[in-house]
Amino acid sequence: MNNNDKMTRRQVVAGLGATLAAVAVSPALGASPVSAADGPAKISDPTKLYPKPPFKSQPQPWPGLQSKMDPVPDCGETSYKGSGRLIGRKALITGGDSGMGRAAAIAYAREGADVAINYYPTEEQDAQEVIALIKKEGRKAVAIPGDLRSEDFCRSLVHKAIAGLGGLDIIVNNAGRQQSINSIADVTTEEFDSTMKTNIYAPFWIIREALPHLPPGSAIIGTTSEQAYDPSPDLYAYAQTKAATMNYVKSLAKQLGPKGIRVNGVAPGPIWTALQISGGAQSEKQQMFGSWTMLGRPGQPAELASIYVQLAAADASFASGQVYGSSGGVGQP
């Protein structure tokens, strides 16, 4: 063998090290390398992303239609892009016609889930828009109108959802009643009762009825609020229901964790929904709604859609008993 053809052990090791280093820094097989030609990162200034107040006064009778609002809330109809995170899942969403429930329904369908939505019968116009969007994604869409203040309806709601979807493994208790009343002296027993039944009794009735049908891996999500932590004086009834929602999320997470069922909550700050223009905020507050946030505007339902997806997705399997906030830099958590 020619001396020029000989390699020392040190040279072999050095050569092997160089080869491994080259492999480590090279793109993964089949992956597209990132280059400057791909252009700058696509980011948006959140202070300029959505409309800012003042908004025009636009009262509607409860529960309101978001399709008649100005500006119409953005629920991700044209912006949310799915990536298959909920393929084969089956979700029931209350208040799914508008606001955050609508945003969750659209996102879930685009992530591959079949979706049943509940809504008050007068919200049929908004609800049918959501049903059409779900079907456009090739997913099952089940519309179940009815009054959540009725225990009998809540029980039938669960069974209609299971029958229509072929099962159930995600429940989003999102529907809520909020009425701004300055003094406790002016809160009628009827109004107090309606708020409690919509916000507290309905989730209780729904979860209790659904529990025997929920397999391990299921997710329950409650919509709470910054009002649970920092209540407004004019939302005496509503605020305490949101504190109770936060509490049942943490309690049920402990109770149902051993069964493999996760329970979490979403705590929005000021979000532009029909809740505000149908009695949830008085005229002067509604016109400047969200101006006090660090972003100078209210949030849009589309900005919370990914949170509802994350809490339902299997890759969030260690998240239970958590409350995820989204408040534009104010409030808690």
What's the Cα-to-Cα distance from 35 to each of 30, 32, 40, 41, rounded to whole Å? 15, 9, 10, 12
For the CA atoms of 173, 175, 179, 180, the dihedral, rounded to the nearest 10 degrees, stands at: 60
- CA nearest to 213, candidates 265, 165, 276, 280: 165
**Residue 18 is which amino acid?**
A
- Give bridge partners of residue 265 from the DSSP assignment: 222, 323
238 catalytic? Reply is yes
CA 319 – CA 115 distance, rounded (Å): 22
Catalytic residue chosen out of the listed positions 238, 248, 308, 324: 238
**Which residue reads 């609002």 in tokens?**
69
Residue with tokens 């992956």: 31
Give just the sign of the alpha carbon dihedral 308, 290, 122, 239: positive
Catalytically annotated residues: 238
